[in-house]
Structure 1
Amino acid sequence: MVGQTDIAESVLSPDRLLPAEGLPLRVARELYESVEDLPIVSPHGHIPVEWFAQDKHFANPTDLFITPDHYVTRILHGQGVALSELGVGQSDFTDQQARNAFLMLGKHWSAFAGTPMRYWFEDSLARVFGIKKKFGPETAGAIYDELDEMLKTPEFSTRALANRFNMDFVSTTDDPVSDLKLHDKVNADPGFKPFVAPAFRPDKYLEPSRADWPQLVDALGRSADIDASTYEGFTEAMRRRRRYFKDHGAVLSDHSHADLNCERLSDGEVHLLFGEAYAGRIGAKDAARLRAHLFNDQARLAQEDGLVMTVHPAIARNYDATAFANYGADVGGDIPARAEYVEALRPLLNAYGNNPDFHFVAFTDDETVYSRELAPLAGFYPSFFIGAPWWFIDAPDSISRYFHDVVPYAGFTKLSGFIDDTRAICSIPSRHDMNRRVTASFVASLVCDRRISMEEGLEIVHNQIAVQPKHVFKLDAAEQ
């Protein structure tokens, strides 16, 4: 029988997330230890570049662990805690309010049992800050005070943390009109180890149904030094800005729309609908058709500039109208929806899917599509890769199901490698370590079943951590 002390110690067990015992455990240990200390490659994330440019010191533990992390605020909101009590959208959040928010996290800690957020948080406390006492209502205050003191020291600035985490590559998420000067500033620092790459995120510029779309088109044109008020001008502006991003280190464009429809319009129709949209007269149905065409254009432009195209559709954004009105976007009020890839992507994959130099990475929050749609597509098309479990499903059980669902149909070589998709900087090493443990466990099951040799298992695990993400996101080409 496992006792209470054993449970507390299991949080940092060297065998956490590995098989329970016997040969599977011994094999998984060896596989995990072979990749445990490899550098972190993070091709998709949301750490603001400003944090690195300013070498940000977090104001307090709530500023680090709670306010910017919608994974955490969403769970607390579900327990009846107002987002304002967590610092979300509050420009004048006091030190006392911040401490109260952390105490609130401790009060509701039982709500996080079984979640990856609990795993990441406890792992971060222990491995980043050296705090190994059990977190909960009774200890939250003392732990807050310990963290608060450490965050005031140079060792816990954003640059110092990234260097300590052995981060090799990290991508931000950026507006196409950004001048990227902060990326240049950060990457010019010889004392800062990671390369911080921008990522081209054009979603709002591809949505003609937006009331502010004409103004966005004008802003895009100004950034590209061209009149973008016509379809030809708009396309050229996109071409120039994508090239600008690539020249500044970007490796990907990132896209999230309600669906992946990408049917192209005739030349006459696209010019007509673009003009209607720019004049603010387009209807919803035609706006959706134009968006599908403009989204397809991003794949067409990728044939020229070589940027990897990543997609993660079917999220009901800002689902809670009150939270959106009071706090804005990205505060946890988004909900996954049903996703469809096969029919939606037919025009795009028929046009570009057989180009091995075009890399298309499909992420999903709908696990039902892994074996039915994504794995067969990746197994056939040279360009198609299956994104790692992301956002709502980047948990140990989901990662394990992902391997079981896609590897039999597509193989390891068509997976994206892990991405952490986070704004919570201290969770980055925890997330990557979690993935390395689950990867080792899955590969160990193949070794123990005598389906692959141990030598092959070591190679597969190493490739998944160190080789595959660089290949899929073309980092290997950028290093040459």
Structure 2
Amino acid sequence: MPGSPEPGSPSRPLELDDDRILPTEPTVRAIAREIFAAVRDLPLISMHGHVEASVLAHDEPFPDPAQLLVVPDHYVTRMLVSQGARLEDLGVPRRDGGPVERDGRTIWRLFCSGWHLFRGTPSRFWLEQELHDVFGVRVQPSAETADAIYDQILDCIGRPDFRPRALFDSFGLEILATTDAPASALDDHALIAASGWGGVVVPTFRPDALVHLARPTWKQDVEELGAVAGRDVSGYAGFLDALRQRREHFVRLGARATDHGHLTADTTPLERVDAERIYAAALSGAVTPAEAEAFAAHMLFEMARMSRDDGLVMQIHPGVLRNHDPAVHERFGPDKGFDIPQPVDFVRGLRPMLTAFGTDPGFRCVVFTVDETTYSRELAPLAGAYPAMRLGVPWWFLDSPLAMRRFREAVTETAGFYNTAGFVDDTRAFASIPARHDVARRVDSGFLAQLVAEGQLRIDEAIETAVDLTVTIPREAYAPRGA
């Protein structure tokens, strides 16, 4: 791999500085330590993630270290690919079932040989803490240490206390939300609920495949929706009815939220006749790109209406051009590290939705961005005005110590702390969840400590705020209606 260290480079110890990420100025660091001590062991509330429910439904041992820590984590694979590795060599499955590396040890060696590539990235923070705290690893990954670390983790995951449910409990997870297609029967969620295990795992309604008419599988996905919902989806009215029926099914199995990934934040509604016409055109294969874009915006508005009616919190995260490399998408599918941020106009885009529902007590939405320029100019003022809107914390490309700090600096003076929604880990890598939350708690503790040092907050207020950011605010933001 390009940039790899010379063979025979000495192994380095893997040590965690207990003050990592906290401010370096001694007075502020001492305050930050006190604040962090109050939140470091609080429960984890994971309301926005992509761990499969099947992992916890079947509670099978993880197959090997590569499948646990490398293959499902596009933060890891995209860095290695950017330095010349191939997704096939990292074990990422191909859509056509074509050959990819199956040997976990080979994949692990490739990952370890590229360990230096993660210096300065949040992935390095997460991976170090996973290896050190969860698996007891005490040397840094490298070509020389790869096999020993692999064997150590392999030994761990063969034990009962490293099965998914046992880790869920030892991590202190209070609740874990998955991300699920509307047509999913949610059998794994039902299995978890009937198992007698005490872990709380809830689905999240993700309708993207059904509202973006230009997707190649759109018609097939709509037909599947109709079949599962038992509704005739040959017309627009039946389509909406099927979506409502599936949302009800999700609510029955504990869902708290919906999840919407759109290129823009446009929520302009269509006239009913226009929505019906565009839907019919899509079914016949004659929809135009402009019509598809207008329909996607319209459906965001309609999803807001449905959230107002059924109580599901609406999570919106626009501004990412998905599948930037068509060849990678064609061969491997979505979510393989080739989604790239772009600018978003939230002020005009969200205005129709917020005008209609922004002060409605039955509606709640959480808005995320990977466009930092909008924090202080658009999103903080919006969240600071509309009671239905909360501002999602840094996510995806921004879930890093420096970006989290910039977020607090940009939005707090306008929106405060209590118009945000609590940390989201947004991960498929199950074992990384505690580390990701730990980073966020350290950043918030440091930010609050600076306010105390500057005389803007008392220490008791700062500790109370830190606790609220960690557990109280996310519990309230995603509480079921009436709770």
Common fold: TM-score over 0.5: yes
Separation (CA, whole Å) in 2 of partners of 1:293 and 1:413? 30
Separation (CA, whole Å) in 2 of partners of 1:338 and 1:188? 44
User: Do the aligned partners of 1:31 and 1:461 also contact (CA within 8 Å) in 2?
Assistant: yes
Any gaps of 5 or more consecutive residues in structure 1?
Answer: 1-7
Structure 2 match to 1:110: 116
Structure 2 match to 1:267: 272
1:88-117: per-residue Cα shift (whole Å, max 9, x none)? 01677666x321221222222111100011
1:60-108: per-residue Cα shift (whole Å, max 9, x none)? 111111111100000000110111111001677666x321221222222
Separation (CA, whole Å) in 2 of partners of 1:286 and 1:357? 30
User: Do the aligned partners of 2:113 and 2:141 also contact (CA within 8 Å) in 1?
Assistant: no
Separation (CA, whole Å) in 1 of partners of 2:172 and 2:358? 35
- Secondary structure of the 2:382 match is helix
RMSD: 1.6
- Residue type of the partner of 2:174? D
Aligned residue among 322, 330, 347 for 1:342: 347
Aligned residue among 443, 450, 465 for 2:455: 450
Separation (CA, whole Å) in 2 of partners of 1:283 and 1:94? 40
Structure 2 match to 1:132: 138
Distance 1:237 1:14, change over 3 A: same
Structure 1 match to 2:38: 34
User: Do the aligned partners of 1:10 and 1:16 also contact (CA within 8 Å) in 2?
Assistant: no
Q: How much does 1:213 deviate?
A: 2.5
Q: Once structures 1 and 2 are overlaid, which stretch shifts more, 11-20 or 431-440?
A: 11-20
- Residue type of the partner of 1:468? I
Structure 1 match to 2:311: 306
Mapping of 1:207-226 within 5 angstroms?
207-226=212-231
TM-score (norm. length: structure 2)? 0.94
Distance 1:211 1:139, change over 3 A: closer
- Residue type of the partner of 2:76? V
Matched, 1:71 2:75: yes
| Number of equivalences | 469
Separation (CA, whole Å) in 2 of partners of 1:55 and 1:212? 32
User: Do the aligned partners of 2:13 and 2:140 also contact (CA within 8 Å) in 1?
Assistant: no
Q: How much does 1:439 deviate?
A: 0.8
User: Do the aligned partners of 1:169 and 1:195 also contact (CA within 8 Å) in 2?
Assistant: yes
Separation (CA, whole Å) in 2 of partners of 1:69 and 1:204? 22
Separation (CA, whole Å) in 2 of partners of 1:212 and 1:126? 43
- Secondary structure of the 2:418 match is helix
Q: How much does 1:34 deviate?
A: 0.5
- Residue type of the partner of 2:228? S
Separation (CA, whole Å) in 1 of partners of 2:122 and 2:292? 38
Separation (CA, whole Å) in 1 of partners of 2:315 and 2:101? 39
Mapping of 1:176-187 within 5 angstroms?
176-187=182-193
Matched, 1:393 2:431: no
Separation (CA, whole Å) in 2 of partners of 1:276 and 1:12? 58
User: Do the aligned partners of 2:202 and 2:255 also contact (CA within 8 Å) in 1?
Assistant: yes
- Residue type of the partner of 1:184? A
Identity of aligned residues (%): 39
1:29-64: per-residue Cα shift (whole Å, max 9, x none)? 111111111111000100001111121322211111
- Secondary structure of the 1:441 match is helix
Structure 1 match to 2:301: 296
Structure 2 match to 1:325: 330
1:362-393: per-residue Cα shift (whole Å, max 9, x none)? 11111111111100000000011111111111
1:122-155: per-residue Cα shift (whole Å, max 9, x none)? 1111110111223333322211121112122212
Separation (CA, whole Å) in 2 of partners of 1:395 and 1:437? 11
User: Do the aligned partners of 2:93 and 2:100 also contact (CA within 8 Å) in 1?
Assistant: no
- Secondary structure of the 1:23 match is helix
Aligned residue among 93, 107, 116 for 1:89: 93
Distance 1:153 1:134, change over 3 A: same
User: Do the aligned partners of 1:214 and 1:279 also contact (CA within 8 Å) in 2?
Assistant: no
Q: How much does 1:257 deviate?
A: 1.2
- Residue type of the partner of 1:336? P
Q: How much does 1:216 deviate?
A: 2.2
Q: How much does 1:448 deviate?
A: 0.8
Separation (CA, whole Å) in 2 of partners of 1:325 and 1:234? 28
Matched, 1:16 2:16: no
- Secondary structure of the 2:402 match is helix
Distance 1:423 1:77, change over 3 A: same
Q: How much does 1:158 deviate?
A: 1.1
- Residue type of the partner of 2:272? D
Q: How much does 1:10 deviate?
A: 8.8
- Secondary structure of the 1:361 match is strand
Q: Once structures 1 and 2 are overlaid, which stretch shifts more, 138-147 or 70-79?
A: 138-147
- Residue type of the partner of 2:84? G
Aligned residue among 229, 236, 243 for 2:241: 236
Structure 1 match to 2:180: 174
Q: Once structures 1 and 2 are overlaid, which stretch shifts more, 155-164 or 64-73?
A: 155-164
Structure 1 match to 2:59: 55
Structure 2 match to 1:5: none
Any gaps of 5 or more consecutive residues in structure 2?
Answer: 1-11
Matched, 1:254 2:262: no
Distance 1:303 1:416, change over 3 A: same
- Residue type of the partner of 1:187? A
1:215-263: per-residue Cα shift (whole Å, max 9, x none)? 3222212222111221211111111111111111001010001112121
Structure 2 match to 1:438: 443
Q: How much does 1:473 deviate?
A: 1.2
- Secondary structure of the 1:217 match is helix
Separation (CA, whole Å) in 2 of partners of 1:179 and 1:10? 43
Separation (CA, whole Å) in 1 of partners of 2:26 and 2:289? 59
Separation (CA, whole Å) in 1 of partners of 2:215 and 2:79? 30
Q: How much does 1:194 deviate?
A: 2.6
TM-score (norm. length: structure 1)? 0.94
User: Do the aligned partners of 1:217 and 1:229 also contact (CA within 8 Å) in 2?
Assistant: no
Separation (CA, whole Å) in 1 of partners of 2:122 and 2:219? 41
Aligned residue among 207, 216, 232 for 1:202: 207
- Residue type of the partner of 2:171? F
